[in-house]
Structure 1
Amino acid sequence: MISIAVCDDDKNVISSIKEAVNEFKDANSVEFETHTFNSGEKLVESSLKFDLIFLDIEMGGIDGIKTAHLIRPKSRRSRIVYVTNHSELALQSYSVHPFDFVVKPFKKERIIDVLNEFMKYITDTANNDPVIQLKGMDGPLLLNLRNIYAFEYTGNRRITVYTESETHCIKGSLSEVFSLINSESFTSPHKSFIVNMEHIDKLTGFTLFTTNGIEVPIAQKKLKEFQNEFSRFIKNYIKQG
C-alpha cells in the first residue's frame, strides 16, 4: 500500500489532486491510500508516514518549506512534491530534496505525470539499492549505500560510519572508502570527512549539517568547489526526481 498525503489550504486543489490520484489508481490497479490536510500544522501533527506528499508552499500558518523541515525527521524517505503559484519559491527548498514541483493552476495530466514518475522511481529504487562492503572491526560489514550519512576519519586507520541512528567503526583510509563508492551523491568537503549529499540539511558558513544532526566542517580551500558540486547535485536530483 502506497500512502499519499495532500496538504493545501485550498479545498479545490485538494479535490483536483485526489481526483487525479483516484483516476491513476483505477487505471493502473495500484493500491493508494490518500490522506488530506488543510494546513501544515495538521500534517506535522499526524503520526502517519507517507511515501509521497503533495505540499502547498504558500499556506496560512506555517508554510510548506517549514512544514517539510518539520516532517523530515520522521519521514526521511517521503518524496515531496511542492505545489505552488510561484515556481521560484520552490528553489528555496533544496535542503528537503523535493521530488518535483507542480505550478498552479495545473491540469489533471500534470499530477498523473508526477505519479508515473513516482512509480518508476520506487520501482528503480527497489531494483537498484546498492550495498557496500566495508572492513568492519569484527569482519566484513555490509551497509546500504543510501543509508550512509557520513564517514569520519578518526586516525590510526579508523573511520566512523554514520547512518541515520547508528555508528560503525571500520578500518582503512577515506581514499580507500571513496574508491569503493560508485555514487555521485558522495563528496569530501574536508580531509577527514566524506558526506552523502542526499542527507545534507543546511549549510552555515564553513559548516554543513546532515538531517540527523551530524556537524561536518568544510575546509576553507574546498568551500567554492563544494558549493559548486552541491549545486550541481541539487539540480540533477531535482531533474531526476
Structure 2
Amino acid sequence: MNVLICDDEPVFLEQVREHVQAYLAQRGIVAHLDTATDPRQVMDSQTAYTLAFLDIQMEGVDGITLAHELKHRNGKVALFFVTAYREYQDDAMDLHAFRYLEKPFDPQRLYAGLDKAMEYIDGAYVDVFVYNQQAQVRVLADDVLYVTRENRRVVVVTETQRYVTGDRLEVWEEKLPNLFFYPVHKSFLVNLHHVTKYAYSELYLVTGERIPIAPRRQAAFHKYWFDYLRRR
C-alpha cells in the first residue's frame, strides 16, 4: 500500500507522518510512506497512492488540483485534507474525502477517519497469494481484467501483471464483487468494467483479448449484461 503525505509546512507534515505511522504500526499494516513538501514533485511522479493526506494551499500546485491528479491515477484513492482553511470543504467533499481536518488537527478525528478509510480500502482491494513467489500482494479489485484457469493453476490478470495463485476459481467468484464480475465460462471470471464489445458468444476486452462465453451460459449472461448496463 502506497501512502502519501504532502504539505509545504514541514512541522505539520511531520505531525501527520508520526500519527499515520503510529496508526499503521499498531494495526500491523505494511505500507510504503512518501512525504513531500513540494506538490510539484508528486505531480511529476507516476506513483499511484492508496491513501493520501494533502494540504490545500501550497506553493505551485494546490491540494485540490493534486487530489484530482491522484484520483486520475487511482480512482479509489482515500483522501484526507489537512488545512488551515474552511472555505475548501465543498471542493473536498466533491472528491469524497474521508476527513477535512483543520490545523491544528485532532488526532482522534484522524484515527476515526483512518478506521473508515481502512474499511473502504479492504472492500476495494483483494489479497492475492502469488503461488510461484510465496508472497501476498494487494490488488485493486477493479484493476483485475479476468481470472482464468491455466495449466491446473488459477491466474489473476490485470493490464500489467499476471498472478499465478493457489486458489480455485470458485474462491475468486466469492472474493470478487458479483455486481461486475461474471463467470462466463468454467475457466473465466470476467470484470465487465473492462469489456469494450459484447458479441453473443464472446467478450472483447480493453486489451484486445477475446473471452469465450460458454454456450450453456450465453442466455443467462445476455440478460445479466443488459441488467448491468442499466445499473451503470
Equivalent residue letter for 2:96: P
The structure 1 residue matched to 2:182, chosen from 106, 129, 133, is 133
User: Against the structure 1 CA distance between its residues 141 and 25, is the aligned structure 2 distance closer, same or farther, given a 3 Å change threshold?
Assistant: closer
User: 1:122: which partner in 2?
Assistant: 121
Number of the residue aligned with 2:190: 143
The equivalent residue for 1:177 is 225
The residue type equivalent to 2:189 in the other structure is L
Residue 109 of structure 1, CA deviation? 1.7
TM-superposition CA deviations, 1:32-84 (whole Å, max 9, x none): 33211113211112243322111222222221221122333433443222233
Aligned partner of residue 72 in structure 1, secondary structure: helix
* Rounded Cα–Cα distance in structure 2 between residues aligned with 1:25 and 1:162: 37
TM-score, structure 1 length as denominator? 0.55
Q: How many Å apart are 1:167 and its aligned residue?
A: 7.7
SS in 2 for 1:80: strand
> Structure 2: any 5+ residue segments left out of the alignment?
128-174
Residue 103 (structure 1) aligned with residue 101 (structure 2): yes
Does residue 60 (structure 1) correspond to residue 107 (structure 2)? The answer is no
Alignment CA distance shift 1:31-1:151 (3 Å) = same
Map of 2:12 onto structure 1: 13
2: distance between equivalents of 1:25 and 1:133?
34
- Of structures 1 and 2, the one with the larger relative CO (CA 8 A, separation 6+) is 1
Superposed CA offset, 1:196-238 (max 9, x none): xxxxxxxxxxxxxxxxxxxxxxxxxxxxxxxxxxxxxxxxxxx
Q: Provide the aligned length of Structure 1 versus Structure 2.
A: 175
Verify the 8 A CA contact 2:52 2:80 in the aligned structure 1.
yes
**RMSD of aligned alpha carbons:** 3.7
SS at match of 1:49: coil
Per the normalisation by structure 2, the TM-score is: 0.57
* Structural mapping, 1:164-203, within 5 Å: 176-179=224-227, 181=228, 188=230, 195=232
* Structure 1 pair 123–72 and aligned structure 2 pair: CA distance change class (3 A): closer
d(CA) in 2 for partners of 1:162, 1:101:
36
User: CA shift at 1:140, angstroms?
Assistant: 7.7
Name the % identity: 20
Uncovered stretches (5+) of structure 1, i.e. residues with no partner: 182-186, 189-193, 196-241
Whether contact under 8 Å (2:70, 2:77) holds in the other structure is no
Tell me: CA distance 1:160–1:26, structure 2 relative to 1, closer, same or farther (3 Å): closer
Aligned mates of 2:67, 2:208 — CA distance in 1: 24
**Alignment partners' CA distance in 2, 1:152 and 1:135:** 14
